[in-house]
Structure 1
Amino acid sequence: MNLRTFPDYKALSAHAAQYIASFIGQKPNAVVCFASGSTPEGTYSLLAEQVRAGKLNLSQCHFIGLDEWVGFGPDDVGGCAYFLYRDLFTPAQLRADQITYFNAKATDLQAECQRIDDVISGFGGLDLLLVGVGENGHIALNEPGTSFRLRSHVVDLAESTKAVGQKYFTKATPLRQGITLGLHYLTEAREVILMASGPRKAAIMKEALTGPVTEQCPASIFQTQPSAHVWLDAAAAGKL
């Protein structure tokens, strides 16, 4: 893995945005999968600014959803898709046909997992995958103990994820399961980026990057990926 630290969140976001814009400039029809959450918000804002300024063209890209709380959709405040639409898809004026997202309200979630896997396979795989990390080491919604070999799947959420997830909602919201791309996609994507910011991520980044590679710490899979990028601000790198 290629580890790089930045002095603050602003510098981290600026670097990520510029790297992604350059990548898409070289491959305009890239198949991209972006995480939602607070860490990439600054990056998405900068990308949307570049689109509005005519400096970045996303019209040929296709975007794949990374994960979603079961029972939530793009119109549900607090859902993963909600934030991606708010922070990037809508301000960048993406067309509906450019976006494939989990239907986490589907009656057959296993069929929905297969649908997403089939879409990705049809595109020939992911070109660019951007993920964050949970305080328990989860990547997307792959909780500790999840096999590194899985593709799309449904997961029972860890208690810590249920608790931390409340920050995205305006009132207490029951969270029980998630639907997510599996970590096998992290090993297959042509470019993989992990971003982490803030002091609350420092302990897990130390464990993930310097401890044993184990499914009990999903983020530790990055130690097995020599070409993957791990970008941290100073606070998230504080214990390394």
Structure 2
Amino acid sequence: MNLKKFADHNTLSQFTAEYIAKKINQKPDSLLCLASGDTPIETYHRFVALVQAGKVDISQCTFVGLDEWVGFGPDDAGSCSYYVYRDLFNPLHLRPDQIHVFDAKADDLATECKRIDAVIRSKGGLDLLLVGMGMNGHIALNEPGTPFNLGCHVVELAESTKTVGQKYFTSQTELTKGITIGLRHLAEARDVILLVSGEKKASILRQALTGPITEEVPASIIQTRPNAHVWVDAAAGSLVS
């Protein structure tokens, strides 16, 4: 893995946006899977600006959703896909055929997992996967204890994830399960970026990067990817060198 520290969140975000644009310019029909959450929002705003400025053409790209709260969808404020549509898909004016997100309201979630697995397989795997990291070390909604070899799956949410997830909603919301791509997809992706920002992530980042590779710290799988990028701001990276 390649660790790179940035002075602040804005510098981190600009660098990441430019990197995504560069990768698309190298492979215009890229399959990208980009996280929701607070950390990448500024990256998306800056990436959209690059597209609008004509610095990159996304007309041949395909985008896959990373994860979703079970029972929620793009029209539900607070859902994972709500924010990705708001900050990325809608400003980019993507065509419907360019977007594949989990239908977390589906009656058959196992079939929904197979559908997203099939999309990724049909494109020959992910060209670029951008993820963040939870306070318990989760990647996407792969909670501690999730096998590294899983593809898309449904997961029981950890208590800490349920608590932190409330920040995305305007009122108390019951969160019980998630649907997510698996860490197998991370292991197989051609390019992986782990973005981490903020002092509160410093301790778990150190554990993920320097501790044992274990399913109890899902983000530790990044150690198995020699060419993965771990890009952090100074606060998040204060305990690692």
TM range (shorter): over 0.9
List runs of 5+ in structure 1 lacking aligned partners.
none
Report SS of the residue matched to 1:230: strand
Report SS of the residue matched to 1:51: helix
Shift in Å at residue 57 of structure 1?
A: 1.1
Quick one: distance in 2 between partners of 1:28 and 1:43? Answer: 19
Partner of 2:190: 190
The runs of 4+ residues in structure 1 deviating greater than 6 Å are: none
Q: Deviations over 1:172-198 (max 9, x none)?
A: 000000000000001100000000000
Greater Cα shift, 107-116 or 48-57 = 48-57
Shift in Å at residue 53 of structure 1?
A: 1.7
Quick one: distance in 2 between partners of 1:14 and 1:156? Answer: 34
Shift in Å at residue 50 of structure 1?
A: 1.2
Q: Deviations over 1:34-72 (max 9, x none)?
A: 000000001100011111222221110000011000001
Aligned length: 240
Q: Deviations over 1:79-108 (max 9, x none)?
A: 000000000101111111100010000000
Partner of 2:125: 125
Matches within 5 A, 1:147-166: 147-166=147-166
Q: Report the residue type matching 2:65 in the other structure.
A: G
Report SS of the residue matched to 1:90: helix
Partner of 2:223: 223
Shift in Å at residue 119 of structure 1?
A: 1.1
TM-score, length of structure 1 as denominator length: 0.99
Quick one: distance in 2 between partners of 1:19 and 1:115? Answer: 29
Partner of 1:29: 29
Q: Report the residue type matching 1:84 in the other structure.
A: V
Quick one: distance in 2 between partners of 1:48 and 1:111? Answer: 32
Shift in Å at residue 200 of structure 1?
A: 1.0
Matches within 5 A, 1:43-58: 43-58=43-58
Partner of 2:110: 110
Percent identical residues: 62
Report SS of the residue matched to 1:207: helix
Partner of 1:141: 141
Shift in Å at residue 239 of structure 1?
A: 1.5
Partner of 1:173: 173
Partner of 1:40: 40
Q: Is 2:198 aligned against 1:204?
A: no
Shift in Å at residue 5 of structure 1?
A: 0.5
Shift in Å at residue 120 of structure 1?
A: 0.9
Q: Deviations over 1:138-159 (max 9, x none)?
A: 0000000000000000000000
Report SS of the residue matched to 1:190: coil
Quick one: distance in 2 between partners of 1:150 and 1:122? Answer: 18
Q: Report the residue type matching 2:187 in the other structure.
A: T
Q: Is 2:15 aligned against 1:12?
A: no
Q: Deviations over 1:195-223 (max 9, x none)?
A: 00001110110100011110000000011
List runs of 5+ in structure 2 lacking aligned partners.
none
Quick one: distance in 2 between partners of 1:159 and 1:134? Answer: 12
The answer to whether the 8 Å contact 1:39/1:132 transfers is yes
Q: CA RMSD in A?
A: 0.6
TM-score, length of structure 2 as denominator length: 0.99
Quick one: distance in 2 between partners of 1:99 and 1:169? Answer: 24
Q: Report the residue type matching 1:193 in the other structure.
A: I
Quick one: distance in 2 between partners of 1:51 and 1:225? Answer: 29
